[in-house]
Amino acid sequence: MGLLDVFSSIKDRAEKFLNEKNVVTDILGKVEEKTGIKKKVIALGAVSLTGLYLVYGYGASLLCNLIGFVYPAYYSIKAIESPCKEDDTKWLTYWVVYGVFSLGEFFSDIFLYWFPFYYAFKCLFLLWCMAPMSWNGSQIIYNKVVRPIFLRHEATVDNMVSDLSGKAMSAAENLTREGTSGPRPRDKAIHHVEV
């Protein structure tokens, strides 16, 4: 698939989205009625302003994270509520890749923050990861990177998780036992003094 095919596919999907009935198109329709400017032009302007803000704006990190979170969260909830399991897998894959990316970003953020256009590229990356196509970023990254590493270390991680959960249960039981065994002698002494 060539670059022109990709842009054509994106254009077709954008036009299809603009003709659907949803919250965004309702708002765009109302703005179109009041201003006389076509929905397509308003949407293109909004996307352009968002892109410029991601490059030059204060709080670009928040905007980028909202873009990477709000749309996928909305469609993840819709996937949970739908009877189809294919969409669940799609969005679970996105969240796994998003989590791995966020973890990596946490440790490299101090350097990446100074990279020009970082938030614009991050936003494009997240959009690619959530793109409604079979070769989106989350599918590729999961299948080429995350899955092989997971399969290679699955037994070790399972053992660690089992070990940690056993220790956590033991600690919780000890705390519960201490809490239900009644007040300690020191607490009784304080109680008698207060009476």
Question: Per-residue DSSP letters for 35-102?
Answer: H---HHHHHHHHHHHHHHHHHH-TTHHHHHHHHHHHHHHHHHHHHHHSS-SHHHHHHHHHHHHHHHHH
**140, burial (CB in 10 Å: exposed 0-12, middle 13-18, buried 19+):** middle
Taking alpha carbons only, the member of 42, 36, 66, 40 closest to residue 54 is: 66
Output b/e per residue, 38-66; b: 16+ Cβ within 10 A.
ebeebbeeeeeebeebbeeeeebeebbee
Name the residue type at position 147.
Answer: R
Name the residue type at position 12.
Answer: D
Rounded CA separation 184/147 (Å): 51
> What residues contact 145, with CB distance under 8 A and at least 6 apart?
100
- Could you read off the pLDDT tens digit of each residue along the chain, which spans 195 residues? 555 666 676 667 677 766 767 666 777 777 777 888 877 777 777 777 766 666 666 777 788 888 889 889 988 998 999 888 888 888 999 999 999 998 888 888 777 767 777 888 888 899 889 887 777 889 999 999 999 999 999 999 888 988 888 888 888 888 887 766 655 555 555 555 555
Rounded CA separation 16/132 (Å): 13
Sequence spans of domains, the chain:
57-138
Q: For position 43, what pLDDT does the model report?
A: 74
Q: Are 88 and 114 in contact (CB under 8 A)?
A: no
Q: Are 100 and 31 in contact (CB under 8 A)?
A: no
* pTM of the full structure: 0.62
Taking alpha carbons only, the member of 91, 70, 85 closest to residue 24 is: 70
Distances (CA, A) of 3 to 6, 10, 136: 5, 11, 14
